[in-house]
């Protein structure tokens, strides 16, 4: 739980440390004394865990802001009289501002006080969220602008908070803490949706959802200022020059350095876009000849993705190009499911319950997926590494073999989709039955009976004519 860093003194022309006044100080033997070392930076274990808890709590609020509008979207549309396309633009503005401001906050976080930058971000997004709840209907453009400002504020936290955790913990501790930190992404996403809709139901006014969040965020801001330290950068690695006294690079140099590692990100973006379109189109066309097309498309894409990802991992040590090819194919096939799964869900849930069903699907999907899988994968890797020599090769092999579990989990998911195919038609038929699964079943039955009588009367009049 401690990190040490040295602050080397500036050097003279021949590499000798300079004393006060810039003159070289030599001992009587003519040898240069070692450069003065700064006191090692350390933090008690309990302080580090308290800081991690505060950062996790704030991360929860951060991602609740992402989806709180989704829980009251229909009310927002009605209030501002905006169409579906403009309603979708709210999230586009939010994400767009987040993406544009993330590099700026990354630059600031690498060169200035991270604690101050985080505090500014929290003030920015909470203030924008609170003020947006007082916007009049005729100023809908101002509401869009406020969502962009909220996205800008959340970018600061998503960018900088993990780096503080990285300097508070080392090795396996860091892996576990980061896994817990990122668990709050799906949890916050689901809670944001639930909080928005629940507050609206309790108060009758969707605006109160945006007014409650700043109260929680004010608590987070106080806790951040009081309990979270700003450790020296690189403190956990105990690299003196890197932590404090190293030369600073320019922003363009940082981008060029990171660009070498962006292949995976580029593959994910491109294959994700293509996969979503391909899966939706394949499902649409196949549905014309097979009513169970959607789960069958999902199952077949997963069965094809599993060997691709397996080969990508196996071939990584020998041929990187082939590994990237199979990785791209695997990601493309996995992405085929995104839109199709949502289509399946909507087809088996009555309209009145679809919002709740979407929230439940998001929550359960993340809990079974990206919430626990990073920790489980790291746990397997740590268990494998404990039995092996501590070397770079063995660390790589431990991670490689732990990731192989994903391929088998994908096959299990394909089996689940095949089970869905067996029950899909029955569930869709039940959904179409009058009053099934709705809170006001009697009312729906009456309305359906009225529709049937009207239709019967219309048919009779047509036949008589």
Read off the pLDDT of residues 273-328 as tens digits, 9 standing for 90 and up. 788 888 888 888 888 888 888 899 999 999 999 999 999 999 988 888 898 899 89
pLDDT number for residue 321 = 87
Specify which of 21-30, 182-191, 203-212, 392-401 reaches the highest per-range mean pLDDT: 203-212
pLDDT number for residue 421 = 92
Does residue 17 register a pLDDT over 90?
Answer: no
State the sign of the Cα–Cα–Cα–Cα dihedral 142, 146, 147, 152.
Answer: positive
pLDDT number for residue 234 = 61
Percentage, residues of the chain above pLDDT 70: 72
Specify which of 183-187, 351-355, 443-447 reaches the highest per-range mean pLDDT: 183-187
Pick 407 or 360 by higher pLDDT.
407
pLDDT number for residue 351 = 64
pLDDT number for residue 300 = 94
Does residue 333 register a pLDDT over 70?
Answer: yes
Average pLDDT of 337-355? 74
Does residue 152 register a pLDDT over 80?
Answer: yes
pTM strictly above 0.85? no
Does residue 223 register a pLDDT over 90?
Answer: yes
Task: Give the pLDDT band (50/70/90) at residue 71.
Answer: confident
Evaluate whether 70 touches 260 at the Cβ level (below 8 Å): no
Task: Give the pLDDT band (50/70/90) at residue 57.
Answer: very high
Average pLDDT of 229-243? 58
- Rounded to the nearest integer, the mean pLDDT of the chain is 75
Does residue 120 register a pLDDT over 80?
Answer: yes
Average pLDDT of 431-457? 50
Task: Give the pLDDT band (50/70/90) at residue 85.
Answer: low
């Amino acid at each position: 739980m401690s990190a040490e860093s040295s602050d080397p003194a500036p050097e003279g022309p021949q590499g000798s440390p300079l004393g006060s006044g810039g003159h070289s100080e030599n001992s009587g033997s003519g040898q240069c004394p070692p450069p003065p070392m700064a006191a090692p930076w350390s933090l008690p274990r309990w302080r580090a865990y308290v800081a991690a808890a505060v950062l996790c709590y704030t991360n929860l609020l951060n991602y609740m802001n992402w989806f709180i509008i989704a829980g009251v979207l229909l009310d927002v549309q009605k209030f501002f009289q905006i169409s579906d396309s403009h309603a979708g633009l709210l999230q586009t503005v939010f994400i767009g501002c987040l993406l544009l401001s993330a590099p700026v906050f990354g630059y600031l976080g690498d060169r200035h006080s991270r604690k101050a930058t985080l505090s500014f971000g929290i003030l920015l997004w909470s203030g924008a969220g609170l003020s947006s709840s007082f916007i009049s209907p005729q100023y809908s453009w101002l509401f869009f602008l406020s969502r962009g400002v909220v996205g800008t504020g959340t970018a600061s936290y998503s960018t900088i908070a993990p780096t503080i955790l990285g300097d508070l913990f080392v090795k396996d501790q860091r892996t576990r803490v980061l896994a817990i930190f990122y668990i709050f992404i799906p949890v916050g996403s689901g809670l944001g949706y639930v909080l928005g809709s629940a507050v609206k139901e309790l108060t009758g006014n969707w605006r109160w959802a945006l007014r409650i969040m700043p109260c929680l965020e004010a608590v987070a801001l106080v806790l951040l200022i009081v309990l979270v330290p700003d450790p020296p950068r690189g403190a956990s690695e105990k690299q003196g020059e890197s932590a404090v006294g190293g030369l600073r690079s320019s922003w363009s140099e940082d981008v060029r350095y990171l660009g070498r590692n962006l292949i995976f990100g580029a593959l994910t973006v491109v294959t994700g876009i293509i996969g979503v379109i391909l899966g939706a189109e394949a499902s649409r066309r196949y549905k014309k000849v097979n009513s169970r097309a959607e789960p069958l498309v999902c199952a077949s894409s997963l069965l094809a993705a599993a060997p691709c990802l397996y080969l990508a991992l196996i071939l990584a040590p020998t041929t990187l190009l082939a590994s990237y090819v199979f990785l791209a194919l695997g990601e493309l096939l996995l992405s085929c499911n995104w839109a199709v799964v949502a289509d399946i869900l909507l087809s088996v849930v009555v309209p009145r319950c679809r919002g709740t069903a979407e929230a439940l699907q998001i929550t359960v999907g993340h809990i079974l997926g990206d919430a626990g899988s990073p920790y489980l994968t790291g746990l397997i890797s740590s268990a494998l590494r404990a039995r092996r020599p501590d070397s770079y090769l063995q660390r790589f092999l431990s991670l490689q073999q732990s990731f192989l579990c994903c391929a088998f989990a994908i096959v299990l998911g394909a089996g689940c989709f095949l089970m869905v195919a067996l029950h899909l038609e029955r569930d869709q038929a039940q959904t179409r039955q009058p009053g099934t699964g709705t809170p006001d079943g009697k009312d729906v039955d009456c309305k359906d009976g009225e529709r049937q009588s009207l239709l019967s009367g219309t048919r009779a009049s047509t036949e008589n004519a």
